[in-house]
Structure 1
Amino acid sequence: MPRLIDHDERDRVIAAAAFAVLERDGLAALSVRRVAAEAGLAVASLRRAFPTQHALRVHCFELIRSRATDRVRSLSGSGIPLGVAVLSELLPLDAPRRLELSAQLQLMILALTDPGLRKTASTLHGDVRRACDAVAVEVGLTRPPAELHAFLDGLALHVLTEPTAVTPEEAVALLERYLTENSTRRDGLDDGPHGP
């Protein structure tokens, strides 16, 4: 009897290998052959799941999006504490999120010249913008949500590229200060819209 393949587990292994290749060796090294070697799979096996390099790249984008969405949806609370929690999930505050952001940035750069990746990159960017829009409503932000998005992107880049200059704790404190100083809600306890 043929052995059953757990496709979800195989896809997770492949994505983890792809992220590792991106982080360690950069975008130029993201090939089906290199990812298969990293995952300990035969190239033919990986090609069945992702027949092209493009399919592998799209899968990486989709996995980053899915992971962030799942983390944000698991949150509860209201006001500024919820806003900080939501946006913190989009910052590279631990190893898995650092890896996701590193992969995402490299794929976003590629999407500038690869029309096949543009839609996927735009969807991921739109998700972050919608999270910022929802947080803006949740905290009664007095600044435009686009400014919050820019602040978040800049903070994420600083944490990723200069981890000793901006620690995860400092990043969360900066985020909380930004929301508090630009919010109509001070204590996070008053009634209002809940959840992004």
Structure 2
Amino acid sequence: MSNYYEQLSALQRMLDFDNASANTLSVMSLGGLSAKVRNLWWSSEASFDGYPSPQLQDSLSVYAQQCWQAHRRNPEIYELLQQHVQSCFSTEIHYRFDLQAHEALPELSLIKFWLASASCCCRTYPIEQDQLWYRHLQLTQALWLAIEIQHTFPESIIGYAEQSVAIVNLEKRQVILCTQLHFAPFTTMGFEFIYLQYPQ
């Protein structure tokens, strides 16, 4: 995960330069951990402090499409993206276990949003673009938290969903669910499930 911290540091330096560190989540959601995305944003002369300009949105969209074309033949990435799109339009909670993919492909958040957004526009799904963006922000926040937890507990398996992170410790046979839905500890299938409050 050291690569992640290098990417985050580079992003933070750019945001600090533009006095936009409060916008970290939005920029991360649009692939801001990628040097290429940061360069696109920087060269557009759009501020990091607000939403991307229409011109920058077009540039990011084209870049996301290029990334999709480049990586769609990778079965792991293809499956991961297909599952992501399906889960975006579902009411069920879907945990993603793709932290290594995000570290290897820092544009992945942008590709996920672009693909889900394109699916939203091209098909009849019961979700609006603003709702999709809000869900994407929630997922990015959970991803960020999951990466931090993975750094702290590298031996654990970490998954994330909207406003939820699952920490699986196979050795201790524990699943810690960091969520907003409070529950009493319980044991099932030999695993102890423990509640932890999701940060606000």
Same fold flag (TM > 0.5): no
Structure having the higher Rg = 1
More helix by share: 1
Given the two structures, how large is their TM-score scaled by the length of structure 1?
0.31
More strand by share: 2
Given the two structures, how large is their TM-score scaled by the length of structure 2?
0.31
